[in-house]
Amino acid sequence: MSFDSLGLAPALLRALSEAGYEKPTPIQAAAIPEVLAGHDLMAAAQTGTGKTAAFSLPVLQRLAGDTRTEGRRPIRALILTPTRELAAQVQENLRDYGKYLRLSSTVIFGGVGMGNQLQALRRGVDIVVATPGRLIDHMQQRSVDLSKVDVLVLDEADRMLDMGFLPALKRILAAVPRQRQTLLFSATFAPEIKALAQQFMREPREVSTAPANTVANTVTHVVHPVDAANKRDLLLHILAQDSRRQTLVFSRTKHGADKLVRHLEQAGVKSAAIHGNKSQNARTRALSDFKTNRITVLVATDIAARGIDIDQLPVVINFDLPMVAEDYVHRIGRTGRAGAEGQAISLVSHDESGLLRDIGRLLKTDLSISNVAGFEPSSPLRLDAGAPRPKQQQRQPRSQGGAGQGRPGGNGGARNGGTGGNRSPAHRPHGHSAAGTGENTGNHKRRRQRRGPATNKA
């Protein structure tokens, strides 16, 4: 199977070949013909499967083939993503794939000033990639016109629902034309995703290349039991085995991520944290320092990590296990991408035994548990039904993700008619809430970064 045989235009084929893509990934092979044929599409695809190109390529092709470009260009494609990082990443991909097409795109997300976004919208763009909260802000200000949208993409729809964006999505869906093509990409087809599709899509084709909640089979999972107090030293011990290896480390909390970075820096490991309390500039800088090897360790919280795209990351370390097993799948999506080998190492303390059990059950795969000499835990992990779970994080509804959280009213989702509201306990087990969004909401005034999501040639 080649990209050529999928019916993609020469301009796209040239860009793909320059990007080093030799053949389509399974999700691309399945999705691209359906989208080019004009069907609505529900695609079950997790991060790392090439899902961005699976929708970006046919969308670019469809738009390029439509020549009504007289006067100011209306927005013809709208791509919604849960986080700023993912929005930026998607637009970067659109730019790469569409570099030989005459299409423009812009990215719209919170946490930065409105100025550049307003300018871009005023100039007119073909494609908007947006996070829901900030898009609603623009809709309220009437600075965005969605009435000519032909294609709507919901990327990581499951995560958008997790983050309480359903009300925002409904408002956005009401603002785009009924006659449109809708593409929904989601790691899982949970019942609420199906309900969304039923309400807003027309006879969608379904494609799925990996069963829901599985991770790439090129990833090996290693669990090291360790006492919580010794985790930092064990992490240093693992990092020391290959001090030049780029490593993504996950922390459950923002505070924990910062503490860990301080510890790593003291030990001489160049590192930075990426989480929702960091300004957008700091997040962008940390990611770029990591990509260019100026730092070797990036410590991320779950939501901030969405959309991080780093080629062939060899290893991901879970310093803490996530409270929700599905987040393990998203974390691990950062390694073993596009067929490469990857390793997922989890440092697990006795009190996280219950979380490990959840993950094992979700993955239906064996997690190899091995002690590291010198770091053997004082109490072994328990994988029975009564296994303990960490207590202190269970009620931190605003602890992950968007800046502006942790303050009353700081969740601008609520300000925007509940766009960032809490997920019901029924959705998030163990009382954990993902109310935080990777996108900022209520505090643009406090933080006035001006990183310019200016219009770019798509």
What is the contact surface with ligand AMP in residues (CB under 6 A)? 21, 24-25, 28, 47-53, 309, 311, 337-338
What minimum distance in Å lies between the beta carbon of 21 and ligand AMP?
4
Considering the complex, state which of residue 53 and residue 434 has its C-beta at the smaller distance from ligand AMP. Answer: 53
What minimum distance in Å lies between the beta carbon of 417 and ligand AMP?
30
Considering the complex, state which of residue 159 and residue 337 has its C-beta at the smaller distance from ligand AMP. Answer: 337
Residue 120 vs residues 61, 113, 127, 132: alpha-carbon distances, Å: 22, 13, 11, 17
What minimum distance in Å lies between the beta carbon of 50 and ligand AMP?
3
The β-bridge relationship of strands 271-274 and 219-225 is unpaired
Q: How much is the CA Rg of the chain, to the nearest whole Å?
A: 21
Considering the complex, state which of residue 93 and residue 318 has its C-beta at the smaller distance from ligand AMP. Answer: 93
Name the phi and psi angles at 300, rounded to 5.
Answer: -130, 150
What minimum distance in Å lies between the beta carbon of 282 and ligand AMP?
23
Considering the complex, state which of residue 155 and residue 358 has its C-beta at the smaller distance from ligand AMP. Answer: 155
Considering the complex, state which of residue 90 and residue 121 has its C-beta at the smaller distance from ligand AMP. Answer: 90
- The whole-angstrom separation of Cα 425 and Cα 428 is 5
Residue among 160, 162, 94, 97 nearest 133 (CA): 160
What minimum distance in Å lies between the beta carbon of 403 and ligand AMP?
24
Considering the complex, state which of residue 309 and residue 352 has its C-beta at the smaller distance from ligand AMP. Answer: 309
Considering the complex, state which of residue 67 and residue 217 has its C-beta at the smaller distance from ligand AMP. Answer: 217
Considering the complex, state which of residue 12 and residue 163 has its C-beta at the smaller distance from ligand AMP. Answer: 12
Please answer whether residues 300 and 247 qualify as being in contact, where contact means their C-beta atoms are separated by less than 8 angstroms.
no
Residues 6+ apart with CB under 8 A from 81: 87, 90, 129, 130, 131, 155, 156, 160, 307
What minimum distance in Å lies between the beta carbon of 48 and ligand AMP?
5
| Residue written as token pair 């001090």 | 243
What minimum distance in Å lies between the beta carbon of 371 and ligand AMP?
33
Considering the complex, state which of residue 25 and residue 440 has its C-beta at the smaller distance from ligand AMP. Answer: 25
What minimum distance in Å lies between the beta carbon of 449 and ligand AMP?
25
What minimum distance in Å lies between the beta carbon of 83 and ligand AMP?
13
What minimum distance in Å lies between the beta carbon of 18 and ligand AMP?
12
Considering the complex, state which of residue 92 and residue 258 has its C-beta at the smaller distance from ligand AMP. Answer: 92
